[in-house]
């Protein structure tokens, strides 16, 4: 029988009533003849609560125990979902990651999926079971320890299962009814997209649109998994939500597909570092060893053999970065005059595959920001995106102005 993967996010399994609603939706697909693999998140708020327990118990925690604790939220919803389906006379059982076993790397709290053997679950499907409910977000390392896949990781669990089982589609049920041109909470004109290309979705996801975990989009693109994002709160037709697909499947699209933002960014500048080969490697090697995710990087023109190096990073990694660089300086590994930190910036980006063939998008973006009196602090571009770092207080204004200027409220 064809396999369908259905993933339910935290708000879709937030209480018993919602689990029942989700289970009904699963029942509809089972009745159509699908064998269904259901991937569940923890009840909304649960993972945050568990992370809080760990932080409070042990500020410099052992990541293996962090994973043991924070993975548990999904165990509860997997069991409850299986029970709910059984109550509806749908043959179902639950699997925790290690039971599948979903094998991952040993990078605790951000493990990578390495393998999903299908024999266990397929054998059960062969025996008449119709729904395998799998706890998302978790797996098992080679050492036999429980791992987690990073926040939002159940999306990745879902796509990986869809690839492993060659599923017809991977439906991601969430609390929004699809992917929007921008965040509707800050821009009332935001429009739901019927389709979006993998590459655009990848950029939007990594730029801070929190609909899908970035890694899940990478996997979907690599394995050509048809991914659909839809709401578990509305009646569904087969066309509901947003289809994330190959760009060939999209006939018409705007030059700019969406405007994304990442609110909590910081900017750090190392003043007066030597301008010679190896310096960037020392700085960013040090930051990488400290687990800092550096994003935009700018090196200024140099004077008298010295230069300034600016980069952006998430605000919650500033302390770590600062400590690592101070230690590097103290140990004589790097000489710099001062480390300047600005923790009140946000990143705003426009994304669209149409930029590959159409020029003038950057010029228009900068004009719009200048008309609004917004100063740009750092700019980076790729083939299909332009990002700027600006003062956080202007973030919403910038998003709205760009959405207007590129007329994203109108379909192509």
**Residues making contact with ligand ASP (CB under 6 A):** 9-10, 41-42, 47, 73, 136-137, 151-155
Reduced to 3 states (helix: H, G, I; strand: E, B; else coil), residue 284 is: helix
**Nearer residue to Mg ion within complex by CB, 10 or 258:** 10
The residues that bridge with 298 in the sheet, in sequence order, are 310
CB 258 within 8 A of CB 200: yes
Q: How far is the CB of 152 from ligand ASP (least distance, A)?
A: 4
Rounded distance between C-alpha atoms, residue 174 and residue 163, angstroms: 20
Query: What DSSP assignment string belongs to 299-350?
Result: EPPPBTTEEEEEEEEEGGGHHHHHHHHHHHHHTTS---SEEEEEEEEEEEEE
If contact means CB under 5 to 8 A according to the sort of partner, which of Mg ion, ligand ASP, none does residue 258 touch? none
Q: How far is the CB of 196 from Mg ion (least distance, A)?
A: 17
Helix (H) or strand (E) run with residue 98 in it: none
Q: Return all residues near 201 (Cβ < 8 A) that are at least 6 apart.
A: 179, 212, 217, 244
If contact means CB under 5 to 8 A according to the sort of partner, which of ligand ASP, Mg ion, none does residue 151 touch? ligand ASP
Q: Which stretch binds Mg ion (CB under 5 A): 3-11, 27-35, 48-56, 121-129?
A: 3-11
Helix (H) or strand (E) run with residue 288 in it: helix 279-289
Name the nearest CA neighbour of 136 among 67, 5, 19, 41: 41
If contact means CB under 5 to 8 A according to the sort of partner, which of Mg ion, ligand ASP, none does residue 125 touch? none
**Nearer residue to ligand ASP within complex by CB, 163 or 172:** 172
Residue 152 in contact with Mg ion, rule: CB under 5 A: yes
The dihedrals phi and psi of 284, each to the nearest 5 degrees, come to: -80, -20
Q: How far is the CB of 137 from ligand ASP (least distance, A)?
A: 4
**Which residues, 374 to 393, sit near Mg ion by CB under 5 A?**
none
Sign of the Cα pseudo-torsion (191, 243, 8, 64, in order): negative
**Nearer residue to Mg ion within complex by CB, 260 or 283:** 260
Q: How far is the CB of 191 from Mg ion (least distance, A)?
A: 22
**Nearer residue to ligand ASP within complex by CB, 155 or 308:** 155
Q: How far is the CB of 67 from ligand ASP (least distance, A)?
A: 12
Q: How far is the CB of 157 from Mg ion (least distance, A)?
A: 11
If contact means CB under 5 to 8 A according to the sort of partner, which of Mg ion, ligand ASP, none does residue 42 touch? ligand ASP
**Nearer residue to Mg ion within complex by CB, 155 or 308:** 155
Q: How far is the CB of 42 from Mg ion (least distance, A)?
A: 10
Task: Give residue for tokens 């990578």.
Answer: 112
Q: How far is the CB of 9 from ligand ASP (least distance, A)?
A: 6
**Nearer residue to ligand ASP within complex by CB, 14 or 30:** 14
**Nearer residue to Mg ion within complex by CB, 70 or 268:** 70
Q: Which stretch binds Mg ion (CB under 5 A): 75-83, 98-106, 151-159, 310-318?
A: 151-159
**Nearer residue to Mg ion within complex by CB, 7 or 347:** 7
Q: How many residues bind Mg ion (CB under 5 A)?
A: 2
Q: Return all residues near 51 (Cβ < 8 A) that are at least 6 apart.
A: 66, 70
Q: Which stretch binds Mg ion (CB under 5 A): 16-24, 85-93, 145-153, 226-234?
A: 145-153
If contact means CB under 5 to 8 A according to the sort of partner, which of Mg ion, ligand ASP, none does residue 121 touch? none
Q: Strands of 131-135's sheet, edge to edge? A: 92-95, 131-135, 35-40, 3-8, 169-174, 227-231, 242-245, 195-197
**Nearer residue to Mg ion within complex by CB, 4 or 149:** 149
Rounded distance between C-alpha atoms, residue 188 and residue 179, angstroms: 14
DSSP tally for the chain: helices H, then strands E: 12, 18
If contact means CB under 5 to 8 A according to the sort of partner, which of ligand ASP, Mg ion, none does residue 153 touch? ligand ASP
Q: How far is the CB of 42 from ligand ASP (least distance, A)?
A: 4
Q: Return all residues near 163 (Cβ < 8 A) that are at least 6 apart.
A: 219, 220, 223, 225
Q: How far is the CB of 54 from ligand ASP (least distance, A)?
A: 13
- The Cβ-side half-sphere exposure at 149, using a 13 Å CA radius, reads 28
Q: Which stretch binds Mg ion (CB under 5 A): 4-12, 140-148, 270-278, 344-352?
A: 4-12
**Nearer residue to ligand ASP within complex by CB, 64 or 364:** 64
The dihedrals phi and psi of 165, each to the nearest 5 degrees, come to: -95, 5
Instruction: List interacting residues with Mg ion (CB under 5 A).
Output: 9, 152
């Amino acid at each position: 029988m064809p396999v369908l993967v259905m993933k339910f996010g935290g708000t879709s399994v937030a209480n018993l009533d919602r689990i029942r609603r989700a289970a009904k939706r699963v029942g509809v697909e089972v009745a159509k003849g699908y064998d269904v693999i259901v991937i569940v998140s923890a009840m909304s708020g649960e993972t945050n609560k568990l992370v809080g327990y760990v932080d409070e118990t042990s500020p410099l925690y052992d990541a293996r125990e962090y994973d043991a604790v924070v993975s548990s939220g999904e165990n509860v919803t997997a069991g409850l979902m299986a029970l709910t389906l059984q109550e509806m006379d749908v043959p179902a059982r639950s699997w925790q990651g290690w039971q599948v076993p979903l094998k991952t790397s040993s990078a605790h709290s951000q493990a990578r999926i390495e393998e999903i053997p299908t024999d266990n679950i397929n054998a059960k499907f062969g025996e008449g079971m119709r729904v395998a409910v799998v706890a998302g977000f978790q797996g098992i390392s080679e050492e036999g320890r429980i791992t987690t896949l990073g926040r939002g990781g159940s999306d990745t669990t879902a796509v990986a299962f869809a690839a492993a089982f060659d599923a017809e589609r991977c439906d991601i049920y969430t609390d929004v009814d699809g992917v929007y041109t921008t965040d509707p909470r800050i821009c009332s004109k935001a429009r739901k997209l019927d389709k979006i290309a993998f590459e655009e979705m990848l950029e939007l996801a990594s730029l801070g649109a929190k609909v899908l975990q970035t890694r899940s989009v990478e996997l979907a693109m690599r394995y050509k998994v048809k991914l659909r994002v839809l709401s578990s709160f509305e009646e569904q037709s087969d066309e509901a939500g947003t289809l994330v697909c190959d760009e060939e499947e999209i006939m018409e699209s705007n030059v700019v597909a969406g405007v994304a933002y990442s609110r909590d960014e910081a900017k750090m500048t190392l003043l007066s570092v030597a301008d010679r080969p190896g310096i960037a490697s020392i700085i960013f090697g040090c930051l990488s060893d400290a687990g800092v995710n550096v994003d935009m990087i700018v090196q200024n023109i140099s004077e008298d053999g010295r230069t300034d190096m600016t980069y952006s990073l998430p605000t919650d990694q500033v302390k770590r970065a600062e400590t690592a660089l101070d230690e590097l300086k103290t140990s004589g590994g790097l000489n710099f005059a001062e480390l300047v930190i600005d923790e009140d910036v946000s990143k705003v980006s426009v994304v669209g595959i149409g930029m590959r063939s159409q020029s003038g998008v950057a010029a228009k973006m900068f004009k719009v920001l200048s008309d609004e009196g917004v100063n740009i602090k750092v700019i980076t571009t790729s083939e299909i995106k332009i990002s700027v770092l600006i003062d956080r207080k202007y973030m919403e204004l910038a998003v709205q102005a760009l959405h207007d200027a590129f007329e994203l409220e109108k379909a192509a």
